[in-house]
Amino acid sequence: MKPQRAVLLLRISYRKADEGEDEQVDDSTRRRREFSKGIGRQEEDGRALAERLGWTVVKVIPEDDTSAFKRRKIKLPDGSTALRTVRPGFRAALDGLASGEYDGLIADDLDRVARDPRDLEDLIDVVESRRPRIPVESVTGSLRLANDADITMARIMCAVANKSSRDTARRVTRKHEELAAEGKPPGGGYRGYGFSAIGHEPVEEEAKILREIAARILGDWDGWTPEQRAAIDPTTGESLNSIAADLERRKVPTVTGAPWRDRSVRSVVSKPSVAGLREYRREIVGEAVWEAIIPRERWEQVRARLAGRHRAVDLTLKRWLTGVLRCSNCGHMLMGWQGNNGPRYWCAKPHGGCGKMAVKAAFVEDEVKRQVLELLGQPLVLQRLRTVADTEVTDDVRAELAADEDQLKVMAGMFARREITFAEYREGRVIIEKRIKESRALLTSRAPRVLRRLLDAEDVAAGWSALTPVDKREVVLALVPGYEVLPHDRSRGNKFDPGRLVPIEA
């Protein structure tokens, strides 16, 4: 019986651009063209085969830019996790064959159907679940499952295809590691904002926008009107939402054509590539071969400013002890919350806490304020804090940072010349990167600036009252790492017990 409800399974993975291809064609446009052509050829050939065999195709399932080899970690129905290929189209075809919705399968080639032996075995299970077996045919003749010999040959060919994919993946990975170590662009994928797709050359119109965004974030842009400049705090700069809205108003295009948003503004200006740095697997591995659009020191200032803003987002609230108080029951940090009896700090269950620890905000804030002002009234404490505030930037830290960065460059060169293995390079880089992060944290720390403003005030208590919630939190964390909150002892009544706050040891 010839199938009268056959399914035609099509799949394509995109290739890189050929040499000489139009450099003005962006990656998404090229991919759409390739998908249309590649899938079109497969469908044409598949329908021609169906006609020769006398089959009727009732469903065409295209898999757009879908790998039959790459696996991802997914959650299985039993709750466990495993590595599997993610192919909704292929699974839909199997489900249709298993349910009887389809009674035959046509594909262009074996490797269009499966490059993972597990996928092939799933198909074999479905084919053999019926008597006679569900017919399977391919245009090239490489996939037939009519008998045991066909199945054995399919298994062998799938194993060979899988080995070929693994070899290719290994070579590509090694090539990307080499390109990263040499600071060269990776190639492929969407082009980054500010750079051309071919050659990774700066696009001047976009480079100007990147420099403008950096200036607006740092508060020194010369494009503001006097009224706008007066409304901008130079210590915080312009908000990302405001920048995005202005870029949209001016009809400045993005790479993908999507509207500007605060996240896209943050993303384009914070990428290491705009500072002339090469990134590999989300880690900076050294200098890039292309010139920086934004000078590195200025880019680091932008990143520090954005990091401070991100931190401030969590703290621009009236509950300034969020992130300072720790639940003694589960170790989760308490956060500001609006309860039935007014503001409180709660080990919020919706955010991963146990939900069993809470303290009224007014009581705990008054107690922490009392302890802070008491500490700031002690001469030895003031002397220590002034020392911290006066060492915001030190020559020693800058020199250590520069030495570590130079060492990274040397190691990258050694790896590029194959004097050390990638494992050795990675192990050394992790150690050096940790020191670099610590140095940069000291150089860009917000706490010294806050302390300086507070300690310069004639009246420390008045200076404290003038601080924003964010700055109050910084001062507290400069004095103590935080407080552990103990459970309420109901035998003492409803009165707040300051003994519930236990300073966390450094």
Homologous superfamily of domain range 204-315: Putative Large Serine Recombinase; Chain B, Domain 2 (3.90.1750.20)
More confident residue, 262 or 198: 262
CA-wise closest residue to 262 among 315, 192, 295, 310: 310
Q: List Cα–Cα distances, 109 to 40, 60, 359, 375, 461, in angstroms.
A: 15, 15, 66, 76, 78
Which DSSP helix (H) or strand (E) runs through 75?
strand 71-75
Q: Tens digit of pLDDT for each residue in 64-97?
A: 878 888 888 887 777 778 888 889 999 999 999 9
The pLDDT value given to residue 312: 39
Give me the mean pLDDT over the 429-435 stretch.
81
Which DSSP helix (H) or strand (E) runs through 404?
helix 395-416
Of all residues in the chain, what percent carry a pLDDT higher than 70?
82
Alpha carbon distance 97, 119 (integer Å): 14
Q: Indicate the pLDDT class of residue 16, thresholds 50, 70 and 90.
A: very low
The reply to whether omega before 132 is within 30° of 0 (cis) is: yes
Instruction: Give φ, ψ of 483 to 5 degrees.
Output: -130, 140
Q: Tens digit of pLDDT for each residue in 83-132?
A: 888 899 999 999 999 999 999 999 999 989 999 999 999 999 999 998 99
Q: Quote the mean pLDDT of the chain.
A: 81
Which DSSP helix (H) or strand (E) runs through 372?
helix 361-376
Q: For 406, what's the count of Cα atoms within 13 Å in the CB-facing half-sphere? A: 6
* Cβ atoms of 447 and 481 closer than 8 Å: no
Alpha carbon distance 92, 362 (integer Å): 57
Contact partners, residue 48, CB within 8 Å, separation at least 6: 139
Q: List Cα–Cα distances, 214 to 75, 222, 295, 308, in angstroms.
A: 41, 12, 10, 15
Q: Tens digit of pLDDT for each residue in 162-218?
A: 998 888 888 877 777 776 677 677 766 668 898 888 777 888 999 999 999 999 999
Q: Tens digit of pLDDT for each residue in 226-261?
A: 888 877 877 778 989 899 999 999 999 998 888 999
Q: Where are the domains of the chain?
A: 6-179, 204-315, 325-391+446-503, 395-443
Chain center to CA of 213 = 21
Alpha carbon distance 57, 135 (integer Å): 13
* Cβ atoms of 194 and 210 closer than 8 Å: yes
* Cβ atoms of 243 and 222 closer than 8 Å: no
Tell me which amino acid residue 106 is. I
| Strands, sheet with 136-138, edge to edge from the N-terminal-most edge strand | 57-64, 6-12, 104-107, 136-138
Which pair of tokens denotes residue 270? 């914070």
Q: Indicate the pLDDT class of residue 20, thresholds 50, 70 and 90.
A: very low
The pLDDT value given to residue 37: 64
The pLDDT value given to residue 172: 76
The pLDDT value given to residue 445: 47
CA-wise closest residue to 164 among 123, 124, 110: 110
Alpha carbon distance 167, 471 (integer Å): 54
CATH class for the domain made up of 6-179: alpha beta
Alpha carbon distance 181, 6 (integer Å): 50
Neighbours of 340 (CB within 10 A): 5
Strands 325-327 and 335-339: unpaired
Contact partners, residue 321, CB within 8 Å, separation at least 6: 334, 336, 345, 361, 364, 365, 368, 473, 476
Strands 358-360 and 342-346: antiparallel
